[in-house]
Chain A
Amino acid sequence: DTEVTQTPKHLVMGMTNKKSLKCEQHMGHRAMYWYKQKAKKPPELMFVYSYEKLSINESVPSRFSPECPNSSLLNLHLHALQPEDSALYLCASSPGPDNQPQHFGDGTRLSIL
């Protein structure tokens, strides 16, 4: 699925850095999601935004801070990450909170040094 665009594709950062992951969709979807996927594991939900409001936070550590500036954009701000946070971060969107299917971006592969 290329209708959901994620940048950057790859990111290497130190544990003291601050960086942001970006996700954009222009399908008019009103629900957006962040998932984390470790190697050889399935994706796991982190956050859900519904109509630009945070509706689900799956007990994610505060070093991950999501933001939804408008209905097309979703950011994930990163600060003081740990090596175990290295993973593929996937963004998805769906027409509405109760409407599927979800469409996924290509992901950002994050490495923490």
Chain B
Amino acid sequence: GIQVEQSPPDLILQEGANSTLRCNFSDSVNNLQWFHQNPWGQLINLFYIPSGTKQNGRLSATTVATERYSLLYISSSQTTDSGVYFCAAPQTGANNLFFGTGTRLTVIP
């Protein structure tokens, strides 16, 4: 199946700092999603972004499908941003998502 790699694996930020998370995928995709899993295990949809750029408040994402990567930008981080950020993509022709190994973000006050 498709390989999805994320970096960095762990990230510690001071509140108010900005960060960029990266997702590389091994095959062409027609769908890519970013999720935030909070400390209670809830998996929250952040972006559905097969290509291009989207913004939602302090978060934005860019997917360059031809180069097989996606970036998630977090600006002015808050302690509530802590958790694990996953990107996920389906194998071509399939509808099941393959998840990356995640980036564990800790925002300290």
Contact in complex: B42, A106 (CB < 8 Å): yes
Interface residues of A in 1-35 (CB under 8 A from B): 1, 31, 33
CB distance from B27 to the nearest CB of A (A): 16
| Residues of A near any B CB (own CB < 8 A) | 1, 31, 33, 37, 41-45, 48, 50, 56, 58, 88, 90, 94, 97-98, 100-104, 106-107, 109
> What is the number of residues of chain B that contact chain A, defined by CB distance less than 8 Å?
22
Contact in complex: B101, A101 (CB < 8 Å): no
Contact in complex: A100, B48 (CB < 8 Å): yes
DSSP class of B's interface residues: helix, strand, loop or mixed? Answer: strand
CB distance from B22 to the nearest CB of A (A): 16
| Residues of B near any A CB (own CB < 8 A) | 31, 33, 35, 40-45, 48, 86, 88, 90, 94-102
Find B101's partner among A42, A88, A109 (CB 8 Å cutoff): A42
Contact in complex: B99, A43 (CB < 8 Å): yes
Contact in complex: A31, B41 (CB < 8 Å): no
Residues of B within 8 A of A58 (CB): 96
Residues of B within 8 A of A48 (CB): 95-96
Tell whether A101 pairs with B31 under 8 Å between CB atoms, given A1-B43, A1-B45, A90-B43. yes
CB distance from A100 to the nearest CB of B (A): 4
CB distance from B83 to the nearest CB of A (A): 13
Task: Give CA–CA (A103, B42) in the complex, Å.
Answer: 11
Residues of A within 8 A of B97 (CB): 43, 45, 102
Find B95's partner among A1, A42, A88, A98 (CB 8 Å cutoff): A98
